[in-house]
Amino acid sequence: VKTFHVHPAWLPVEAFRGLGSRSVLVIGPAEGTALVRQEVTQARTRFGGQLRHRPAAGPGASDPGPADVILALTSSVAWPAPLQHLRAGFPEPIGDEGYLLARRDGCTVVLADDPVGLLYGWFHLVRLGERAFGPERAVEHHRPALRRRMLQHWDNVDVHPVTGQVERGYAGGSLFWADGRARGDLDRVRAYARLLAACGINAVAVNNVNVHATEAHLLTDRIGDVAEIADRTRPFGIRTHLSVSFAAPVVLGGLSTADPLDPDVRTWWAEAVRGVYAAVPDFGGFVVKADSEGQPGPFAYRRTHAEGANLLAGALAPYGGVVHWRAFVYNHRQDWRDRRTDRARAAYDHFAPLAGQFRDNAIVQVKHGPIDFQLREPVSPVIAALPGTRVAVELQVTQEYTGQQQHVCYLASRWSEVLRFRFGAGHPSVNEVVAGGGLVGVSNAGPDPFWTGHPLAQANLYALGRLAWDPDLAPVAVLDEWIDLTFPAATDPAHAPARRVLHALLDESARTYESYTAPLGLGFMVRPGHHYGPDVDGYEYTPWGTYHFADRDGVGVDRTRATGTSFTGQYPLPWSQVYESLEHCPDELLLFFHHVPYTHVRHDGSSVIQHIYDTHFDGFEQVAVMVRQWDQPGVQALVGSAVHERVAERLQEQCRCAREWRDQVTTYFYRKSGIPDVHGRVVP
Amino acid sequence: VKTFHVHPAWLPVEAFRGLGSRSVLVIGPAEGTALVRQEVTQARTRFGGQLRHRPAAGPGASDPGPADVILALTSSVAWPAPLQHLRAGFPEPIGDEGYLLARRDGCTVVLADDPVGLLYGWFHLVRLGERAFGPERAVEHHRPALRRRMLQHWDNVDVHPVTGQVERGYAGGSLFWADGRARGDLDRVRAYARLLAACGINAVAVNNVNVHATEAHLLTDRIGDVAEIADRTRPFGIRTHLSVSFAAPVVLGGLSTADPLDPDVRTWWAEAVRGVYAAVPDFGGFVVKADSEGQPGPFAYRRTHAEGANLLAGALAPYGGVVHWRAFVYNHRQDWRDRRTDRARAAYDHFAPLAGQFRDNAIVQVKHGPIDFQLREPVSPVIAALPGTRVAVELQVTQEYTGQQQHVCYLASRWSEVLRFRFGAGHPSVNEVVAGGGLVGVSNAGPDPFWTGHPLAQANLYALGRLAWDPDLAPVAVLDEWIDLTFPAATDPAHAPARRVLHALLDESARTYESYTAPLGLGFMVRPGHHYGPDVDGYEYTPWGTYHFADRDGVGVDRTRATGTSFTGQYPLPWSQVYESLEHCPDELLLFFHHVPYTHVRHDGSSVIQHIYDTHFDGFEQVAVMVRQWDQPGVQALVGSAVHERVAERLQEQCRCAREWRDQVTTYFYRKSGIPDVHGRVVP
């Protein structure tokens, strides 16, 4: 018997105890404060607190009496006289989506210019919990570092014969679509929007970047479906975006061309966009995968990707919309025999020459690494290669290559490494780039009762939003937030041992996953097609450009300028030299940049082959430890029986699969190299 | 614009010229001769000959005048007096399905006991063509060597999410089923039955041995669909068989068990069979895949496969039906780390202890080799291991592992090797075994306009029927028959050069396919799942039990008694010694039975590694030659433009794919062995 329908994720009732048991005063117009008042009402109904409201109170308004919390919009010009002292000294304007937070005379005050800023302030208080009611606090000015904090859903409307309802979806289908239609259950979409607002997301693309026949129609005759979603997300400050086909003028419009310089094509897009905004006045914009893995694009008309992107940007500009134009363009019909062609080079080769040619509302969306969402890749050099053009970085929250929500893999530590990466003097850091262009995550959420299949994968969704709000946040701090919100008992010292188990399990999970799967920057050793579990040679002789070139003597891809594909030359100094140098290249990227003998000695003194053996055996052991730790007394009490049971099941599968990874990878390299493991553990 | 709807295969109008232009007398009752008279009428309408009929002519019947051909049933006791001299001296009885053939006084006479024998005699004349009207011929007595000559269709009623409409089907779907329903187009089924009769097939199983939920119902409430098919095949002497689920009493009957010794289960099957025969009075019987790859079976009840098979055989016996019980039972959840378990051993280990325990109408159906339809495997030792039990041998006409009807691969030469295989003194040859149990082919036909996707794959379908009629036929003679029937212009000396191209292309095709894919008995180096194209390690670390164990030093599976899995011990002498011995083991099975160093020198003096290189480069070259030869002048004139075009397209694909096989296999083994090709051809 199910004891719950949908898990509350990081907004369980208990997380609102501190706020819900206190006296809250909301100041501001009825409409602009509706949502926070609803939040307060919900919380106080449970915990016995108070809510008062002053719609547009002036100096003459009646005294509302003392309050523990004031939530106020700046548009309510004057406050009740007895509270004026709480209002003084706040800097203005606060700015879109921002809020001020202070504690004065025993009252916690949140002030915002707009309703969504007030909502973000409210969720800030939720995160603080009892800490919101401690000593005085000087005014803090909170604003998102990134204007656009986006989730993209690879959701299909029709169930696709190969990729299913959701491409790379591991959470039970789509929140928006089922079997060719919009889902009826928009309450679930509303709940999703609330969760996203609570972590800072403000944009959602509702369909797959691979736009198939049915999904193309969302742009025109099925825009009503999008409007219904937008109606549910709008109150939470979330704009709706749509993936569209570059060939839409042909496919939907019956034109003979989709040439971006053709006047009829321009007119068609202008008209299509007009229709979209008629249905969705605050529509966010388009996402486009063009000339990539079979999707149509401007190359068919000998136009550049800037010309393609600017076509759509031009149509969207009058309405304030943007186009996210993906830089994931490469030859997916490569010949594995050809070692000079390098997929890692492709995005840079295509896009770097176009720097500065994109309109201001065209955002080039770049995957974090040069290949495709592998756990360990260098940061994509494209991110630094487009001065004068807005660049968004794309991360994969859905765990296509990182365990598919069967394995625990808290990704924020890797994301944070990417975001903090500094390209070198004269070049912006990734943080600075995304401040201008935004952060995008491919969503891992679906109608699964735990939202994300693996309950602990919620932490990745949460972290994506939080890092998009502030890319400088420490991933471990975000993890702490997520734990304490999701499992409020964790703040109780009695639960400290269980909390430590949970924390360690997540905090070390990405390192663990990396150690039993892909050593030293080797990637794509997964089963072709579904990408789950090991197959060392699975992609070695395919057209996909993802090779490791292991032979009996050595392994790795020579991407140096000296003897390889010259990919290292796409980086500014010092990285172009660091990666080029076998001596200085970081160990964790050694085989990404260099082909070395198995006997090559790494910085820590061990050989490449022994490192492969050691990490894989250690990684599996670590998973076995995770399984045991999860069964320690207290963990179930902390997380609840439903979460405990689901995680326990998946840990079993992770353990089984980690053993496969360990043994297939080590046996593969033993059979090739003939070099025995010094500890004699490898199956021959 | 299509210029034809369905290709006539080996029964084009032109093949009937000789018979259709002559005077034919049919003697026998109206009903029993209806089909041959229809055949004669069809032919003579086109070519201007004559047909006369004497329903039950006696000595007093009017003189029909001279005839070039007489087709007569023995049941018409006496012939018209003037023809009595043509009737004398025929031995009787002729026997089921048999016929006598002679040429006397310028008249060709065919005599049979039953209508289908007469039909077979008619098609014999079609095969002879003008040769039927040459010099006198002494009486020839033709009878099928095998009583049951069967095609099994792996056709699903519903389109299966993984395997589609037809499991391992490459001919455009199913002739019987489409999208969950019986096909309306039963004319096509009739045409199929006529083609099958013309090559000797007399039994067809109409659904997949993997019986899914919908298909299970064919046994009961959907038996009417089967009856409609049977109505179309019956006139051609073809009985209909059905694959059923061993769990049918549970799944369909609502019983709590399918235990073969349970009285209620027996009763349920008896009742089910009664219903089947009420709908299809000449129903052939059941096909069962039990305890195999997830299908239910007697193991669940701790019963033997003899007990399982006898349950169904007992239910079918009162009606003359048979059960084909597959011996394809093995552990498909094997651990690749475990080298002692050997899938090749499984069928023998399961079935040999049951010799003689099966009822007479229970036929144990054994795949030709111990693994699974690889082009090169030793003959399955199970075939010799069941004295006192009927054994049918199962061949795969559909080209799952042999190019999927994209590649030309005439399989009859391999089949003939299997059929002629002699197990040794005191043991029957395969021919002798199947004479008691029958031959089964998994059909390669579908609604494709050429029936088989690749037009030249028709030759395999034809050959299966002919070898089932007479396993001693030379495959090259069958090929000649097929060419001359299918392309009647081939008998014209003007077309001799083109005929030589076509003949050579087919005759050498299996050797060619073997040479660019699987050297020395290595199998299963295919892409997992669909099984098309190369992936040397694709199955190496899976649970399927199909490994090659290649490492940097050597390759192959040690199946010896001395140091390996002891599979060689399942063979009688001399094979148990021949295969055991590295010295005497035939080269083409070397790596099936032995793990050897790459430097091992074969009987022809070349090393294993150089042999791998040489065969793969030669095999590809051979395909390139095929492509060029197909474009030689005259080939299109011989085969027609539609066949020429389709074959040309597929040869291009075969050439592309053969290059992939060549390069992936040679590079794989070069990277592992480090031993260079003496001709320097291998991509590193």
- Which residues in chain A have their CB less than 8 angstroms from residue B556's CB? none
Question: Are the CB atoms for A561 and A569 separated by under 8 Å?
Answer: yes
Instruction: Give the best residue of B551, B656, B675 to mutate against chain A (max A CB count within 10 A).
Output: B551
CA triple A200-A205-A210, angle to 5 deg: 145
Mean pLDDT score, A306-322 = 98
**CA gap A198, A15 in Å, rounded:** 12
**CA gap B68, B467 in Å, rounded:** 30
For residue B344 the two structure tokens come to: 């090749």
**CA gap A174, B423 in Å, rounded:** 59
Residues 6+ apart with CB under 8 A from A579: A378, A559, A560, A568, A571, A585, A589, A593
For residue B624 the two structure tokens come to: 């390139």
Question: Over 60: is that where the pLDDT of A4 sits?
Answer: no
Q: In the prediction, which pLDDT does B2 show?
A: 41
Mean pLDDT score, A565-576 = 98
- A77 or A39, greater pLDDT: A39
Distance from CA of A528 to the nearest CA of B (A): 9
Instruction: Give the best residue of B335, B525, B552, B558 to mutate against chain A (max A CB count within 10 A).
Output: B552
For residue A89 the two structure tokens come to: 């000294």
For residue B240 the two structure tokens come to: 């209909």
- Which residues in chain B have their CB less than 8 angstroms from residue A536's CB? 537
- Report DSSP letters for B500-556, one per residue: HHHHHHHHTHHHHHHHHS-GGG----B-TTT--SB-TTTTTTSTTS------SSEE-
B683 part of contact set with chain A, CB < 8 Å: yes
* Facing residue for B552 by CB, picked from A337, A667, A672: A672
A135 part of contact set with chain B, CB < 8 Å: no
Q: Report helix, strand or coil for B83.
A: helix
Question: Which residues in chain A (567-606) have CB-CB distances under 8 A to chain B?
Answer: none
Element (H, E) at B40: helix B34-47
- Which residues in chain B have their CB less than 8 angstroms from residue A552's CB? 552, 671-674
Question: Are the CB atoms for B516 and B656 separated by under 8 Å?
Answer: no
Which of these, A409, A388, A437, A422, lies nearest to A623 by C-alpha position?
A409
For residue B335 the two structure tokens come to: 């651990």
- Which residues in chain B have their CB less than 8 angstroms from residue A337's CB? 663, 667, 683
pLDDT 10s digits, B163-204: 999 999 999 999 999 999 999 888 999 999 999 999 999 999
Amino acid residing at A144: P
The count of other CB atoms within 10 Å of the CB of residue B298 is 22
Which of these, A182, A279, A180, lies nearest to A223 by C-alpha position?
A279
Question: Which residues in chain A (634-673) have CB-CB distances under 8 A to chain B?
Answer: 660, 663-664, 667-668, 670-673
- Which residues in chain B have their CB less than 8 angstroms from residue A553's CB? 674
Amino acid residing at A84: Q
Residue A367 Cα to chain centre, angstroms: 11
Q: In the prediction, which pLDDT does A57 show?
A: 61
Which of these, A4, A1, A55, lies nearest to A30 by C-alpha position?
A55
**CA gap A609, A601 in Å, rounded:** 9
Distance from CA of A336 to the nearest CA of B (A): 9
Q: In the prediction, which pLDDT does A580 show?
A: 98
A529 part of contact set with chain B, CB < 8 Å: yes
Active-site option among B372, B448, B558, B614: B372
**CA gap B330, B348 in Å, rounded:** 10
B552 part of contact set with chain A, CB < 8 Å: yes
Active-site option among B39, B114, B155, B400: B400
For CA atoms B312, B314, B315, B316, the dihedral sign is: positive
B340 part of contact set with chain A, CB < 8 Å: no
Question: Are the CB atoms for A218 and A182 separated by under 8 Å?
Answer: no
Question: Whose structure tokens read 């699987």?
Answer: B518
Distance from CA of A297 to the nearest CA of B (A): 28
- Which residues in chain A have their CB less than 8 angstroms from residue B555's CB? none
Q: Check CB contact under 8 Å for A541 and B660.
A: yes
**CA gap A673, A609 in Å, rounded:** 8
For residue A505 the two structure tokens come to: 């399990």
- Report DSSP letters for B423-487, one per residue: --TTS-BHHHHHHHH-EEEE----SSTTSSSSGGGHHHHHHHHHHHH-TTS-HHHHHHHHHHHHS
pLDDT 10s digits, A326-356: 999 999 999 999 999 999 999 999 999 999 9
**CA gap A104, A83 in Å, rounded:** 11
Q: Check CB contact under 8 Å for B537 and A667.
A: no
pLDDT 10s digits, A138-162: 999 999 999 999 999 999 999 999 9
* Facing residue for A671 by CB, picked from B529, B552, B674: B552
Q: Check CB contact under 8 Å for B534 and A541.
A: yes
Distance from CA of B551 to the nearest CA of A (A): 4
Q: Check CB contact under 8 Å for B541 and A660.
A: yes
Residues 6+ apart with CB under 8 A from A333: A543
Q: In the prediction, which pLDDT does A1 show?
A: 39
Burial class from Cβ neighbours inside 10 Å (0-12, 13-18, 19+) for residue A357 reads middle
**B372 among known catalytic residues:** yes
Return the bridge partners of A26, or none: A53, A71
Mean pLDDT score, A600-625 = 97
Q: Check CB contact under 8 Å for B537 and A541.
A: no
User: CB-side exposure of A499: number of CA atoms within 13 Å?
Assistant: 18
Which of these, B7, B143, B5, lies nearest to B459 by C-alpha position?
B7
| Chain A residue with the nearest C-alpha to that of B534 | A541
* Facing residue for B552 by CB, picked from A527, A536, A674: A674
**B400 among known catalytic residues:** yes
Active-site option among A228, A372, A558, A614: A372
- Which residues in chain A have their CB less than 8 angstroms from residue B550's CB? 671
| Chain A residue with the nearest C-alpha to that of B339 | A684
CA triple B24-B34-B13, angle to 5 deg: 60
- Which residues in chain B have their CB less than 8 angstroms from residue A664's CB? 541
Active-site option among A400, A448, A535, A558: A400
Mean pLDDT score, A519-534 = 95
For residue A14 the two structure tokens come to: 């208990």
| Chain A residue with the nearest C-alpha to that of B668 | A551
Q: Check CB contact under 8 Å for A541 and B671.
A: no
Phi, psi of A254 (to 5 degrees): 75, 10
Question: Over 60: is that where the pLDDT of A262 sits?
Answer: yes
Question: Are the CB atoms for B170 and B399 separated by under 8 Å?
Answer: yes
Q: How far is CA B55 from CA B79, B90, B111, B112, B419, in A?
A: 10, 20, 14, 15, 42
3-state helix/strand/coil string of A228-249: HHHHHHHHHCCEEEEECCCCHH
3-state helix/strand/coil string of A524-572: CCECCCCCCCECCCCCCCCCCCCCCCCCCCEECCCCCCCCCCCHHHHCC
A237 part of contact set with chain B, CB < 8 Å: no
Q: In the prediction, which pLDDT does A5 show?
A: 85
Q: In the prediction, which pLDDT does A337 show?
A: 97
Q: Check CB contact under 8 Å for A535 and B553.
A: no
Mean pLDDT score, A516-521 = 93
B529 part of contact set with chain A, CB < 8 Å: yes
Q: Check CB contact under 8 Å for B551 and A673.
A: no
Interface predicted TM-score (ipTM): 0.90
* Facing residue for B671 by CB, picked from A535, A551, A663: A551
What is the average pLDDT score of chain A? 96
Pairing label, strands A155-160, A164-166 = antiparallel
Q: Report helix, strand or coil for B572.
A: coil
Q: What's the alpha-carbon Rg for chain A, to the nearest Å? A: 26
| Helical pair A475-486 and A115-128, crossing angle rounded to 10 deg | 80
* Facing residue for A552 by CB, picked from B535, B672, B683: B672
Q: Check CB contact under 8 Å for A551 and B673.
A: no
* Facing residue for B663 by CB, picked from A337, A527, A663: A337
| Chain B residue with the nearest C-alpha to that of A660 | B541
**B293 among known catalytic residues:** yes
Mean pLDDT score, A88-115 = 95
The number of C-beta contacts closer than 8 angstroms across A and B is: 59
**CA gap A566, B672 in Å, rounded:** 27
- Report DSSP letters for A248-292, one per residue: HHHHTT--S---TT-HHHHHHHHHHHHHHHHH-TT--EEEE--SS
**CA gap B261, B269 in Å, rounded:** 12
pLDDT 10s digits, A37-50: 999 999 999 999 99
* Facing residue for A552 by CB, picked from B528, B538, B671: B671
Question: Mean pLDDT in each 10-residue stretch from start to end of chain B (684 residues)?
Answer: 75 96 95 96 96 78 86 83 86 94 96 97 97 96 97 97 96 97 92 98 98 97 98 98 98 97 98 98 98 96 98 98 97 95 97 97 98 98 97 98 98 98 94 96 97 98 98 98 97 96 98 95 96 97 97 98 98 98 97 98 96 98 97 96 97 98 98 98 96
Burial class from Cβ neighbours inside 10 Å (0-12, 13-18, 19+) for residue A50 reads middle
Q: Report helix, strand or coil for B326.
A: strand
Q: Work out the widest C-alpha separation in chain A, in whole angstroms.
A: 88
Instruction: Give the best residue of A333, A531, A671 to mutate against chain B (max B CB count within 10 A).
Output: A671
pLDDT 10s digits, A443-494: 999 999 999 999 999 999 999 999 999 999 999 999 999 999 999 999 999 9
**CA gap B482, B195 in Å, rounded:** 12
B674 part of contact set with chain A, CB < 8 Å: yes
pLDDT band at A429 (very low <50, low <70, confident <90, very high): very high
Amino acid residing at B458: Q
pLDDT 10s digits, A6-63: 999 999 999 999 999 999 999 999 999 999 999 999 999 999 999 999 887 666 667 7
